[in-house]
Amino acid sequence: QSVLTQPPSASGAPGQRVTISCSGSSSNIGGNAVNWYQQLPGTAPKLLIYAHNHRPSGVPDRFSASKSGTSASLAISGLQSEDEADYYCSAWDDNLKGYVFGTGTEVTVL
Amino acid sequence: PQLRESGPGLVKPSETLSLTCTVSGGSINTGAYYWAWIRQPPGKGLEWIGTIYHSGSTSYNPSLRSRASMSVDTSKNQFSLKLTSATATDTAVYYCARMAVTLDYWGQGTLVSVSS
C-alpha cells in the first residue's frame, strides 16, 4: 500500500528537464528525510538521492531533489535516453515505524 | 556489500513463504545497520515488510505483522523472512536490503508466486 502520492507518468525530450512530485504527510515527508530510487525494467531499485539532496557515488549531478513541508520533488535535467525508468520516492514514517514508498512515476524520453 | 535472496519460487496457497538473504562483502553482525525486506507485486509499487537488527530485534509492517516473522543467523551472515498463510496477493518480487541512513543496498530480488 503506497502512502506517498506521485504522478503516474512524466516525459520530456532529450536534453529537457523533467520534475516529479511526491506528496506525503507530517508523519513521513514532513518530519523525515526523503529518498529517491530509480528502477530500470526488470531490475532492483537503485538509490538515487538520499537525505533530501545527497547523491551516492556515481549518480550524475543531473539528478537533484528538494523538499518543502509535506511534499518533495525530483528533477532530472539534461534528460537522456538511459533515464527512462520508474522513479519512487520514500521516507521513514513515524506512525508505521517503517519506510513508506511513493506510487511510482514512469519517465519516458520522447 | 552484496545481498542475494534465495528460496522457492512457487508456494501453494495457505503454506508458508520462506526466503533467505545472504550478505557478502560485510558483516551482518554490526550495530551500524538494520536489515530489511521489501516486496513489489507484478506491475505495482514497493511495500516495506519489516526490519531486523543483528540482535534479533524486529519491526513489522502492521498490515503483515500477524503473518510475518524475521530472524537473523550471524554465523552464516544471513537473515530470513517467513510469511505464513500465503495467498495470491503475496505474489511479488521480494527484495532484501541494508538499512543505514536509508535503504542503500538492495538484492536483485526473487519472484515468489503463490499458486496451486
Say what the pLDDT of residue B10 is: 97
10 Å Cβ neighbour count for B27? Answer: 12
Q: What is the DSSP string of A11-63?
A: EE-TT--EEEEEE--TTTTTTS-EEEEEE-TTS--EEEEBTTTB--TT--TTE
Of B105, B33, B15, the residue nearest A57 (C-alpha): B105
Average pLDDT over residues A61-77: 96
Kindly list the residues of chain A whose beta carbon comes within 8 Å of any beta carbon in chain B: 1-2, 33, 35, 43-47, 50-51, 56, 88, 90, 96-104
- pLDDT at A1 (0 to 100): 61
Residue A2: is its pLDDT beyond 80? no
Phi first, then psi, for residue B5 (nearest 5°) are -85, 145
| pLDDT for res B101 | 83
Contact between residue A16 and residue A109 where contact means Cβ atoms under 8 Å apart: no
Q: What is the mean pLDDT of chain B?
A: 95
A45 and B47 within 8 Å at the Cβ level: the answer is no
Q: Considering only CB atoms, which chain A residues are within 8 Å of B47?
A: 1-2, 101
**Residue range B10-39, pLDDT digits in tens:** 999 999 999 999 999 988 988 889 999 999
**CA–CA dist A11, B66 (Å, integer):** 41
Q: pLDDT grade, residue A83 (50/70/90)?
A: very high
- Whether A97 has a pLDDT exceeding 90, the answer reads no
| Residue A59, pLDDT above cutoff 80 | yes
Q: pLDDT by residue (tens digit) across A13-46?
A: 999 999 999 999 999 999 999 999 999 999 999 9
Query: Does position B69 have pLDDT exceeding 90, yes or no?
Result: yes
* Residue to test with chain A: of B5, B37, B48, most A Cβ within 10 A: B48
Mean pLDDT throughout A75-102?
95
pLDDT over threshold 80, residue B61 = yes
Asked whether the predicted pLDDT for residue A52 surpasses 80, the reply is no
